[in-house]
Structure 1
Amino acid sequence: MRWWSVANLVSNAGTWMQLTVQNLLVLHVTGSAAMTGLSLAVQAGPGLVLGLIGGAAVDAWPRKLTATLSQAALGLVAFATAALVAFDMINVPVLMALAAITGVVATVDAPACALLGNDLVRTRDVPSAIALGSAVHSVGRLAGTALAGGAVVLFGTSSAFLANGLSFAFVASVIPFLRLVDHTSDPDRAPAPAAAAEAPRPSADPREGLRYFLGRPRLVALAAITGLSAVFGRNYALTLAVLVTGPLAAGAGAFGTVSTALAIGGIAGALLAGVLQRPSVRLVAAMAGAGAVLQIAAGLTPSLALLILLVVPMAMVESVSDTAGTTVLQTDPPPHMRGRVLGVWRSLSTGWGLVGPPAIGLLMEVAGARGALVLGGAVIALTATAGLLLQGRASATAGQAAEARPVRAAALSAAA
């Protein structure tokens, strides 16, 4: 697990180095902001359409081999991009093709690597492993963003893509040496019924994953609260940027400070989530509601200093919410179904990732940056509160029914 965490840190730093300069590269080549947005949509599109198929492949194929090959493929794409940029051979069709290939490979790579980390620890340590992965992701994002500027200045734009290719190669070289935990003999794992143990492994049919997801109310509820939060509450690169440079009359440097505060809060929240042994959808909703209240306060803040103080706890509770939700997704389904559940989730998350920025942008056009933050936070807070109340009422009703059954049974026995 230590080796896997180091590999993930290197990989995330490389990825964010590339992402930091990728949009600038597309803008430089095309001269069009619209084409820059289109390239992002082309890269995200496969996740929307092929997410479930990619998850089914992860359920059907050996985990280590799948992750190794997908990481190697992403590395080859990064190396090819670096070479094309270095020799000034990049153009719009090539950019779009590379973006599409990256998106297709990621539909397999993302669930494979997510579940591989869980295979390295005992069952009781899986929530902590997921929290550690979230913290590593946040640290890698911060480091990669910081390294990108220096690399481009010293070595040129292609160096960011080269660094990302090397990071993928490092991960692909580490994976074959990882030792997986045998969960069938894990003392923390609940024993399976004899009939289930003797049953053949189910086929990795993508439709089974979708039916399973839709048949689990807690997963549907998790998707609802996470989707609302993503659309109305997580587009801080847009909402807070406009708030800082507009109503608060600060500059781009000030937004950089706010972004750093968000990253610090995210890292702290991921580490805090590591103590959670049994995260629940209720916790996800409660944390999303708390983050929404802080978002409302951020929208009403009169000064930059107060905004910076608010975004740290805001990022913390949202990081706890995200990590708890990820843990539910990766531990609630049976092992043979987890790749497909993550595939369904990838399709959903890609959908609200594409819808969120235009929706919040339109809301800012109508209500301004402050209004968008306040109204978006209110939508999330009210939805989370309503969901918690409904779930609490359902639990109370179920508890009363459970208490009533022994009483009725005793009455019938006495009457007999």
Structure 2
Amino acid sequence: MTSKTAMPKAFQRVWLASGASSFGDGVYLTALPLLAASLTRDPVLLSVVSAAALLPWLLFGLIGGALVDRWDRRRTMWITDAARGALLLAAVAGVAAGWLGVPLLIALAFLLGIGQILFDTAATSYLPEILNRDQTLLRRANARLRGTMDVLDGFAGPPAGAALFTMGRTFPLITNAVSFLFSSLVIRSLPASPPKPRVAKNSLLKDARAGAAYLFRDPLLLGLSLRPALGNFAFSAGAAVFVLFAQEELHLGPVGYGILLTSEALGGLLGSVLSGWLGKRLGTGGALILTAALLTAAQASIGLTDSAVVVGVGMALRAAGLGATIVLASSVRQSIVPDELMGRVSAASRLMALGTAPVGALFGGWLATVGGLRAPYLIGSVFLALSTLLSLTMTSNRKVEAALEKARLSHETSAESKAGSESGDQAATLAT
């Protein structure tokens, strides 16, 4: 397949919508732990708030993927973002009515997490559809999307979220609601997707199992999913108590806390930008091994220092490794998974990756209670070291290149078969 030099207009709109949502998410995700910490100092309760946003992946992740493969992906995205915007505005009304409390935050995080399942799975499946599964374009598109998310979600959003929080508790929620509604309008303006061919429908559970089975039968896809599963367990263990770590161990206020998150965003942007270069120089498999080792060292450094500067550098390096990993792994997955299974396989992969996060968050809260606020980072680095071993054995350059070549041949065969079928139909029409 020959790559085009310019991205299609449809991607430009997806990029714009993603940027708007990313900024709102950066505001919201920075303000949420600050809001929770203003209500309770209990590490376990704080970890429950963090876990609530990710718990829906455990409960509904596979079903969400099955639904996305049945529904129009563009329509799914704009309706979901509209619903998330309306939910946040309803939460603002609840706060104004005096219902603010940890239970409200847990419920809000849980419901927004359900929306994230549908939107993210649909967006992941929609991208190869508009880019014709071109590996070069997919890597470029994922790098742009990830880089934009790092800038707006991590760089611009955190200080804005901290500043808005000091102005009023509901300001971050309102900002995120506006971002979701804007994203919904932009995605709504995209041209409709071609109708999907009619096939006999199985039950949702059977369709969901088919996606999971495809993932588990493919060693490369399984390796690409197991690594973030270990990583998210480790990251969530630290993230669940990071606001307390920043306040009590590093002695930072809301502004310093936001600056640390900003340093992480800068690292993530760097990783996204360099992902293509790393893939070309080291191969995708080699680059994944390098980033796994970098994540391990960075996580350990955070738990071993008293310096906010060193923590900021460690967070930046960790984010750089994570950003490059996401771009490279996503591009491979989108290139090798058949379109009719893309939603379900993506959901199964995300379930493995995110399903460990709420468990990690709860584990981190418990570790911080019994071992101190540094323990989640030090123990987490052990799990990240295991992910390095996975990269060495399951996602090597040889296995990645073999999978890409197999997918390329399959796609070309399918395209030729479709062209032949259309020619036959036209000939039959002329004959009649």
TM-score by length of 1: 0.76
Task: Give the secondary structure class of the aligned counterpart of 1:123.
Answer: coil
Of the three residues 321, 324, 342, the one matched with 2:325 is 321
Q: Which runs of 5+ in 2 are unaligned?
A: 1-10, 403-432
For the 8 Å contact 2:298–2:318, the answer to whether it is kept is yes
Pairwise CA distance, 1:256: 4.9
1:206 and 2:205 correspond: no
Of the three residues 47, 50, 64, the one matched with 1:54 is 64
Find the counterpart in structure 2 of residue 72 from structure 1: 82
1:215 and 2:217 correspond: yes
The whole-number CA distance in structure 1 between the counterparts of 2:108 and 2:369 is 33
Pairwise CA distance, 1:15: 2.2
Letter in 1 for 2:151: V
Letter in 1 for 2:295: G
TM-score by length of 2: 0.73
> How many percent identity over aligned positions?
25
1:331 and 2:335 correspond: yes
Pairwise CA distance, 1:270: 1.1
Structure 1 residues 212 and 147 mapped into 2: Cα distance closer, same or farther (>3 Å)? same
Structure 1 residues 335 and 363 mapped into 2: Cα distance closer, same or farther (>3 Å)? same
For the 8 Å contact 1:129–1:274, the answer to whether it is kept is no
Structure 1 residues 157 and 295 mapped into 2: Cα distance closer, same or farther (>3 Å)? closer
Find the counterpart in structure 1 of residue 267 from structure 2: 265
For the 8 Å contact 1:284–1:322, the answer to whether it is kept is no
Which shows bigger deviation, 346-355 or 275-284? 275-284
Structure 1 residues 121 and 157 mapped into 2: Cα distance closer, same or farther (>3 Å)? same
Pairwise CA distance, 1:20: 2.7
Of the three residues 171, 174, 179, the one matched with 1:167 is 179
The whole-number CA distance in structure 1 between the counterparts of 2:22 and 2:244 is 27
For the 8 Å contact 2:133–2:335, the answer to whether it is kept is no
Total equivalences in the alignment: 380
Structure 1 residues 360 and 104 mapped into 2: Cα distance closer, same or farther (>3 Å)? closer
For the 8 Å contact 1:222–1:281, the answer to whether it is kept is no
Equivalent runs, 1:205-354 vs 2, <5 Å:
205-232=207-234, 235-237=237-239, 251-252=252-253, 256-275=258-277, 280=284, 283-296=287-300, 305-354=309-358
1:5 and 2:7 correspond: no
The whole-number CA distance in structure 2 between the counterparts of 1:34 and 1:369 is 12
- Give the RMSD, CA atoms, in angstroms: 3.8
Structure 1 residues 370 and 102 mapped into 2: Cα distance closer, same or farther (>3 Å)? closer
The whole-number CA distance in structure 2 between the counterparts of 1:25 and 1:365 is 20
Q: Which has the larger radius of gyration?
A: 1
Task: Give the secondary structure class of the aligned counterpart of 1:10.
Answer: helix
For the 8 Å contact 1:243–1:369, the answer to whether it is kept is yes
The whole-number CA distance in structure 2 between the counterparts of 1:359 and 1:282 is 31
The whole-number CA distance in structure 2 between the counterparts of 1:160 and 1:255 is 16
Measured against aligned partners, the alpha-carbon deviations of 1:312-352 in whole angstroms (never above 9, x if no partner) come to 33431222112222223333211111111121123223321
Letter in 2 for 1:137: M
The whole-number CA distance in structure 2 between the counterparts of 1:298 and 1:149 is 22
Equivalent runs, 1:95-106 vs 2, <5 Å:
96-106=106-116
Which shows bigger deviation, 376-385 or 27-36? 27-36
Structure 1 residues 360 and 62 mapped into 2: Cα distance closer, same or farther (>3 Å)? same
Pairwise CA distance, 1:199: 11
Of the three residues 99, 117, 126, the one matched with 1:116 is 126
Letter in 1 for 2:234: F
Letter in 2 for 1:130: N
1:18 and 2:22 correspond: no
Q: Which runs of 5+ in 1 are unaligned?
A: 185-197, 399-416
Structure 1 residues 311 and 76 mapped into 2: Cα distance closer, same or farther (>3 Å)? closer
Pairwise CA distance, 1:6: 2.0
Measured against aligned partners, the alpha-carbon deviations of 1:358-405 in whole angstroms (never above 9, x if no partner) come to 43455567776677655543553355246525777997xx9xxxxxxx
